[in-house]
Chains A and B, each alone.
Chain A
Amino acid sequence: MAITRITNIANTIPDASIANEKLSDIVNFKNIIINGDMSIAQRGTSVSGITSGGYYTLDRFNFNMVTMGTWTMSQDSDVPTGQGFAKSLKLDCTTADASPSAGDRLRIMQAIEGQNLQYLKYATANAESLTLSFWVKSNKTGTYNASFYNDNVVRYISKSYTINSADTWEKKTITYAGDTVGSIGNTNTNILQLQMWFGAGSNFTSGTLATSWEAETASNMAVGQVNLADATSNYINITGVQLEAGDTASEFEFLPVDVNLERCLRYLQFIDAEYFIVARWDNNAGNPIGQLNFLKTMRAAPTASAIGTFSTGAGYAGTPSFNNIQTVCLAPSGADSISANSIRYLHNGLFKMESEL
């Protein structure tokens, strides 16, 4: 007979400690953070000369910076020994800013869709705690902050941690109370955002750290934060970022690389235009058009762009424009008008579709 339901599996295991461990291990996708092992870098493995915020290398991790030096962001092979990780995120300071202005900030962030977080039961008495764990290494010891911003209700919580030893991998675990007041919107836009601080101006450090959920107050976000941007010798590596419901950190949830990539494709896709056919088939001359189906349904209709140099000349359609942009497909069109009922090719470039948060 086929198994149709498994009920209360913990009760079938006599030793509670074993039961709890096994339960945490069998929860698929318990890690709310996507690409926490830093294995996916569709945009490239290293970008130098970074002076402003944006998505640069590792998928889903947004480098958020306002005038705090110049940085190289890379997917690095320096990892904690014996933990199963192959890659880490590295930030390397190449131009220092030892005296940041009041509004300056330096952090990496990951925004999480609210519709994936309804099980946290926020804004109820049963709101779940969250536990963040990660491995970190830096030459710059001292106090750092890791925070959460709830975009739906503009609320904030922040906890500090200490990097104790220079140039040494350390594992950090931080637990945050669930928010019994502020709800998380059940949409693809309302977000909970992890913010890992590496530098902050006085606008973000002059208050009292928001160690409980409160209405967002800038001065309470990053109190005590060291300035990772104060010397060109500074760097930080991070990997194994895991965020899970509950009061304890479980073992990192390693996913197959194809599963990790699949999750990232919801937010970013590159597709080669080897010989992508565009045509004019309506008995009228004009710009040729075709249909590109995405590799996976995207979070929202994506921003589209053409990357690289598209071939021009006989048979080719040049650098494309994009129309009919939806979550599952779009319509690339050629740059020049062609005669009715004829075809051209988009060739040699890349289509980039991005629907990050």
Chain B
Amino acid sequence: MITSVEKNYHPMSNEFDNYKIIKDGVTYFIPLDEANTDYQAIQEWIAAGNEVIDNGA
């Protein structure tokens, strides 16, 4: 189960690069690719009213 979703920024370009999530206690990095099933799950998680953490670059 997803417990947190955070925007992950590129360490050199400082642009929003992917989502860093914690699911079942494990950290994953999810690309912004609609064909990725975890990306699809994040969109559902957001649509359910959950909030993405954004600490900026």
Contacts and interface: CB of A to CB of B under 8 A. Distances in A.
A220 interface: no
A355 B27 contact: no
Contact of A323 (B10, B28, B36, B37): B10
For the residues of A in contact with B, the DSSP-based class is: loop
Interface in A263-314: 282, 286-287, 289, 299-306
Contacts of B36: 300-303, 355
* Chain B interface residue bracket vs A: 20 to 34
Contacts of B37: 355-357
A79 to B, nearest CB: 31
Contact of B8 (A301, A305, A323): A323
Interface centre among B11, B26, B30, B37 (most CB of A within 10 A): B11
Interface residues of A, number: 25
Contacts of A300: 33, 35-36
A326 B31 contact: yes
Nearest to B33: A301
A17 interface: no
Contacts of B8: 321, 323
Contacts of A4: none
Interface string A182-199: 000001110000000000
A11 interface: no
Contacts of A356: 37
Interface string B18-47: 101000001111111111111000000000
Interface in A322-343: 322-326, 333
Contacts of A301: 31-33, 35-36
Contacts, number: 61
Most buried by A among B18, B32, B34, B38: B18
B52 to A, nearest CB: 17
A300 B35 CA distance: 6
Nearest to A288: B11
B12 interface: yes
B30 A303 contact: yes
A324 B17 contact: yes
Contacts of A286: 11-12
A184 to B, nearest CB: 16
Contact of A189 (B18, B27, B35): B35
Given A286-B12, A289-B12, A305 B38 contact: no
A287 B17 CA distance: 15
Contacts of B30: 303
B12 to A, nearest CB: 6
Task: Give 10 closest A-B pairs by Cβ, nearest first.
Answer: A300-B35, A301-B31, A325-B31, A301-B33, A287-B11, A322-B29, A304-B29, A303-B38, A323-B17, A305-B28
Interface of A: 187-189, 282, 286-287, 289, 299-306, 321-326, 333, 355-357
12 contacts: A189-B35, A300-B35, A301-B35, A302-B31, A303-B38, A305-B29, A306-B27, A321-B8, A321-B29, A325-B17, A325-B29, A355-B36
Interface of B: 8, 10-12, 17-18, 20, 26-38
